Chain A
Amino acid sequence: MSDPGGFGPDLVEVFGPSQQDGGPELVQLLTPEGERVHHDEFDHDFSAEELRGFHRDMVLTRRIDTEATALQRHGELGIWAQLLGQEAAQIGAGRALRPQDYVFPTYREHGVAYCRGIDPLDLLGLFRGVDQGAWDPKDNNFGLYTIVIGAQVLHATGYAMGMQRDGVVGTGDPDRDAAVIAHFGDGASSQGDVNEGFIFAASYNAPVVFFCQNNQWAISEPIERQTRIPLYQRALGFGFPGVRVDGNDVLATYAVTQAALQRARDGQGPTLVEAYTYRMGAHTTTDDPTRYRMSDDLEHWKLKDPIARLEVYMRRNGLVDDQYFADLKAEADELGHHLREGCKALPDPQPMSVFDHVYTEMTDELAAQRDGYAAYLASFEGAGH
């Protein structure tokens, strides 16, 4: 690259090959080889129970993803947004939440949904085409999946502003203080709404954690098309801290997200967490990544598999035995059965129901349209076709 002419470091220095593994700023507590490493700022002690919990969550989340992908291949789902490879980013973030915190997901946050206690079967309806989100956001403080890229980041910021007005920020009461987490991806970081969310959150010091899973690909567009600096560094320009964490390291993701959420709950404002990860699957089941990325890339990231590294660590330290894995496999199989049988049994909505809930109360003109359609349908009864 040519001389930048005194306007700062050469871009290759900040966004060059050295970034491929996340760069020197990457917060990591568990290496891809399963070595526990320490970090000055974000270290955290995990009990054996917690480690097994993370592992179990990731295995079950991967099973949700695998089953849903298979259901799409069998024609039971119209489409599925896969999360393969992002289990640690989602479980780490999901387990850092307290019940009073609130989540604004994209349409890929199946692991976070699972952490919030949503029945994974409820996630399938949208992809099967029987609903647009079956759960009540108020039940688990988990918003509906948002499909317009980045739109929910503003909703998260506004929700956090509402929390400020409700007096549930910075009181010092751990059961009361709350925060919001906004999920989005590297592609969304280019959206105006995401950047406006950053600006509003900074301006009002809103208790929101911007959790960006940088999985390197926005369908076929590589991260280099979205940004010329590491995403977490953008936070500085908005006036709040940014951290890049190894998104394939569930321990580091948990520790960093937990710290960011606590900062927000304490009234210290927003944080950008860039979970550096990789979309090992396709964007969705309709996508074909072989058209735009090298298989070498995938092989490289397979070595950093989020589940494998924790498994190595737990085995090496005697935290698990064969019975643990047998029990977990049985649990995953049961979950798979639940999803397969449950998906096929999901009822189609009634065509007449489309008129319901357009408004909180049906308008007279919509009721007239519904009645006209009902009369039309009734005209076929007994007509012999």
Chain B
Amino acid sequence: MSTQKVSTGSTQRITLAKGLNMGLRKAMEDDPKVLIMGEDVGKLGGVFRITDGLQKDFGEDRVIDSPLAESGIVGTAVGMALRGYRPVVEIQFDGFVYPAYDQIVCQVAKMTFRSQGKSKMPMVIRIPFGGGIGAVEHHSESPEAQFAHTPGLKVVACSNPIDGYWMIQQAIACDDPVIFLEPKRQYHADKAELDESATPDPLFTSRTVRAGSDATLLAYGPTVKTALKAAEAAASEGKNLEVIDLRTLSPLDMAPVFESVRRTGRAVVVHEAHVNLGLGAELSARITEECFYSLEAPVLRVGGFDTPYPPSRIEEEWLPDLDRVLDAVDRSMEF
């Protein structure tokens, strides 16, 4: 249930990977200050091909293949941003962002505050995140809470091809640094109809993607699909679940969440990240503060266990799936 306006423009069916690629291309066409930088983003088009063809069309000065050093990528992007550019950096996999963590947390996030607004940091840090692709260690993680906990950063997660197309452009246009999380499992999974002449929702807004009245599922990135499937299954049992795609993790857009939970009285948060001190903890706290008298049950969380990400042969057991979501819904309903 997208709130995007209906338009009569021509449409095409695209994957998330294609949506991001088209969005990046559009942003580069619209603003010559937009640069892309990262490992293998040029000739190869990125290991997931998200930047496919961009170096060929925009040149090596704008689509920059970098040395293999994440702190170097983000740190030099800070300098380019100070020079007036709008760098979009690609971190190849979630688990490889940590060498750049110091630059992101101590420099990228704090530059605007440190300078009292005299310097800006219009940078997008794209991170393919989440699991379910059968990868080796460090390739399947969900580090969003570590960035959402950092004042000065904005954190968003797209969940579908259409949002990928619009949100990457909006993130690039934002004058604040944006951690842009892309559910890598979805890159080539589903196709959706893109209408480039439509008007997108503002970037830092949540969206109700399925209406319901019995309980509210809160999800983002890869778990939106899981939540929608769970809602579909629940419907066959006569349970009517509302699903909200949070889209923005920092700042949070809580108004639609509060409105929903006041109606349903129940909320279940679903994310792949570890439950302990994850986004679900913050969502639970805020819902409790604002909707205390509307709640019929405590806010429940379904997520990755508080262990390191497991070897891939057992990742489907580790990741929150339809059944674990429904189990949480049952516990909420029975409370």
Size bracket, chain B contacts: 35 or more
Among B35, B84, B115, max chain A CB count under 10 A is at: B115
- Cβ-closest chain A residue relative to B70: A196
Query: Which residues of chain B from 39 to 98 have any CB-CB distance to chain A below 8 Å in the complex?
Result: 61, 66-67, 69, 71-72, 74-85
What is the total of A-B residue contacts with beta carbons within 8 Å? 130
Q: In the complex, which residues of chain A have a beta carbon less than 8 angstroms from the beta carbon of B80?
A: 158-159, 161-162
Q: In the complex, which residues of chain A have a beta carbon less than 8 angstroms from the beta carbon of B116?
A: 131-132, 356-357
Among B76, B106, B112, B176, max chain A CB count under 10 A is at: B76
Alpha-carbon gap, A153 to B107, bound state (A):
12
> CB distance B152 to A358 under 8 Å?
yes
Q: Which of B15-23, B117-125, B192-200, B304-312 contacts A (4 or more CB under 8 A)?
A: B117-125
Q: In the complex, which residues of chain B have a beta carbon less than 8 angstroms from the beta carbon of A161?
A: 76, 79-80
The yes or no answer to A144 lying at the interface (CB within 8 A) is yes
> CB distance B67 to A155 under 8 Å?
no
Given A166-B83, A193-B71: A158 and B78 interface contact (C-beta under 8 Å): yes
Q: In the complex, which residues of chain B have a beta carbon less than 8 angstroms from the beta carbon of A131?
A: 116
Query: Which residues of chain A from 144 to 163 have any CB-CB distance to chain B below 8 Å in the complex?
Result: 144, 146, 148, 151, 153-163
The yes or no answer to A348 lying at the interface (CB within 8 A) is no
> CB distance B118 to A154 under 8 Å?
no
Alpha-carbon gap, A330 to B230, bound state (A):
80
- Cβ-closest chain A residue relative to B111: A144
Given A155-B78, A163-B83: A196 and B251 interface contact (C-beta under 8 Å): no
Alpha-carbon gap, A224 to B243, bound state (A):
61
- Cβ-closest chain A residue relative to B254: A365
Contact partner of A360 (CB less than 8 A), chosen from B112, B204, B251, is B112
> CB distance B106 to A154 under 8 Å?
no
Q: In the complex, which residues of chain A have a beta carbon less than 8 angstroms from the beta carbon of B106?
A: 148, 151
The yes or no answer to A364 lying at the interface (CB within 8 A) is yes
Alpha-carbon gap, A197 to B81, bound state (A):
16
The yes or no answer to B137 lying at the interface (CB within 8 A) is no
Task: Give min CB distance, A368 to chain B, whole Å.
Answer: 10
Task: Give min CB distance, B73 to chain A, whole Å.
Answer: 8
The yes or no answer to B252 lying at the interface (CB within 8 A) is yes
Task: Give min CB distance, B84 to chain A, whole Å.
Answer: 7
Q: In the complex, which residues of chain B have a beta carbon less than 8 angstroms from the beta carbon of A157?
A: 75-76, 79
> CB distance A200 to B61 under 8 Å?
no
- Cβ-closest chain A residue relative to B252: A365
The yes or no answer to A138 lying at the interface (CB within 8 A) is yes
The yes or no answer to B151 lying at the interface (CB within 8 A) is yes
* A binding-site residues for B, Cβ under 8 Å: 104, 131-133, 136-138, 143-144, 146, 148, 151, 153-166, 192-193, 196-197, 199-200, 203, 356-361, 363-366
18 contacts across the A-B interface (CB closer than 8 A):
A136-B115, A143-B82, A144-B119, A154-B78, A157-B79, A158-B81, A158-B83, A159-B79, A159-B83, A161-B79, A162-B80, A162-B85, A196-B67, A200-B67, A356-B116, A360-B117, A363-B251, A366-B251
A148-B107, A358-B152, A360-B117 are known; give 9 further A-B pairs, CB within 8 A: A133-B114, A137-B119, A138-B119, A144-B115, A154-B76, A159-B83, A165-B61, A192-B99, A197-B76
